[in-house]
């Protein structure tokens, strides 16, 4: 009898222990149960090295890797206005080891021009966190016969079709923005799409204009390798305080940066567990809010944000609708 009581008590104790352990494991996040991350993480960037999104992605990843205890490897997949990288990222396993760092142009603009795209930005991706808002600067080759927006417009009207501008491809934000501004200013510009970074050709005079992200434009402007005509949006950039905004030249061109400003955001393939998304968001927001990162980003004319995933998803849907209407108005199509 005594032996049966001892065994019964031991079994009850074991059951309690197992139940407690099982209950704890069920409440622990999936990333904690799996030891996430326990291998390197791949981050696809849909642009060539040296272009603004690549530069910022690497700045963040320098901190994100140590924060997660694993290397974050940047994988550049350039081409087709960012579509090549987006399609590759959408097809990756949603396991937390595959991320996508991209901009407004790829998620809200290009999809309207590629009806046969192999991804749907609203269905196939889950936002992690917006990192920043980035203004663009309309830059010109140093030898261009204009130094201001007024001079550009006068020259373009006197020489229709001779002013060339570069972009990262048909459907990229610089392409659509320049077409929108040209139409509203009543001028004709000649588009030269690139698959690689067009900055060297702007510096050398092969192409006259480029709407470049402040990230990479500011150092080149300060080094007098290119010149700045105007900043997108309504606010001047402290690092280029003497460069006027597009709205200073014409209030209807870019109110609140709706056309010229962009955003940079981390995404993951849809199906990535929410708790992994939450952990990534926590680490990225911490990095973005670090004082030295804030100072570094602001020195490049950027506005650091670091937002919840839900905020990004809502904003992306609104941007997608706006740019769909604009592209239809401009009748922009793939060549």
Torsion of CA 259, 298, 54, 63, to 10 degrees: -140
What's the whole-number mean pLDDT along residues 68-75? 97
- Token pair belonging to 302: 């950027």
Quote the CA–CA distance of 268 and 124 in Å, as a whole number. 9
**Spatial CB neighbours of 292, under 8 Å, sequence gap ≥ 6:** none
DSSP for 81-93, written as a single string: GGHHHHHHHHTS-
Q: Which pLDDT belongs to residue 11?
A: 44
Polymer length in residues for the chain:
335
Average pLDDT of the residues of the chain: 88
**82: confidence class by pLDDT, cuts 50, 70, 90:** confident
pLDDT digits (tens, 9 = 90+) for 287-326: 999 999 999 999 989 999 999 888 887 888 888 899 999 9
Per-residue pLDDT tens for 189-212? Answer: 999 998 888 999 999 999 999 999
pLDDT given at position 30:
54
* CATH class of the region 36-135+261-330: alpha beta
d(CA 79, CA 66): 30
Run of H or E including 269: strand 262-269
Q: How far apart are CA 150 and CA 175, in angstroms?
A: 20
Q: 18 vs 100, which has greater pLDDT?
A: 100
pLDDT at 266: 97
Q: Pick one of 3.50.50.100, 3.40.190.10, 1.10.3720.10, 1.10.10.10 as the CATH number of 137-257.
A: 3.40.190.10
Phi, psi of 263 (to 5 degrees): -135, 155
Whether the CB-CB separation of 210 and 270 falls below 8 Å is answered with no
How confident is the model over 249-274, as pLDDT tens digits?
Answer: 999 999 989 999 999 999 999 999 99
Delimit the domains of the chain by residue range.
Answer: 36-135+261-330, 137-257
Q: Band of the pLDDT at 20, cuts 50, 70, 90? A: very low
pLDDT at 178 over 60: yes
Q: What is the pLDDT at residue 26?
A: 52
**C-alpha to C-alpha distance for 172 and 109, rounded to whole angstroms:** 7
Report how far apart, in Å, the C-alpha atoms of 299 and of each of 116, 293, 322 are.
40, 10, 30
């Amino acid at each position: 009898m005594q032996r049966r009581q001892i065994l019964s008590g031991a079994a009850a104790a074991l059951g309690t222990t197992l139940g407690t352990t099982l209950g704890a494991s069920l409440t622990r996040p999936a990333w904690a149960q799996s030891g996430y991350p326990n291998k390197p993480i791949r981050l696809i960037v849909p642009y060539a090295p040296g272009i603004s999104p690549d530069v910022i992605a690497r700045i963040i990843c320098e901190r994100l890797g140590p924060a997660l205890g694993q290397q974050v490897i940047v994988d550049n997949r350039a081409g087709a206005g960012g579509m090549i990288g987006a399609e590759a990222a959408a097809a990756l396993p949603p396991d937390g080891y595959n991320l996508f760092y991209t901009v407004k142009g790829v998620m809200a603009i290009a999809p309207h021009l590629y009806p046969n795209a192999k991804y749907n930005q609203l269905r196939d991706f889950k936002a992690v966190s917006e990192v920043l808002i980035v203004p663009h600067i309309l830059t010109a080759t140093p030898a261009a016969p204009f130094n201001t927006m007024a001079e550009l417009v006068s020259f373009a009207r006197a020489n229709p079709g001779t002013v060339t501008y570069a972009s990262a491809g048909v459907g990229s934000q610089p392409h659509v923005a320049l077409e929108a501004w040209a139409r509203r200013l009543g001028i004709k510009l000649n588009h030269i799409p690139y698959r690689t970074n067009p900055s060297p050709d702007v510096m050398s005079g092969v192409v006259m204009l480029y709407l470049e992200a402040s990230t990479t434009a500011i150092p080149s402007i300060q080094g007098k390798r290119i010149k700045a005509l105007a900043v997108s949006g309504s606010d001047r950039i402290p690092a280029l305080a003497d460069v006027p905004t597009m709205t200073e030249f014409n209030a209807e061109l870019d109110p609140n940066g709706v056309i010229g400003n962009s955003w940079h955001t981390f995404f993951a393939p849809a199906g990535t567990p929410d708790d992994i998304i939450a952990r990534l968001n926590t680490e990225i927001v911490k990095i973005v809010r670090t004082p030295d990162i804030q100072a570094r980003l602001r020195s490049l004319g950027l506005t650091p944000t670091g937002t919840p995933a839900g905020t990004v998803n809502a904003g992306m849907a609104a941007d997608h609708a706006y740019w769909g209407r604009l592209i239809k108005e401009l009748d922009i199509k793939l060549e």
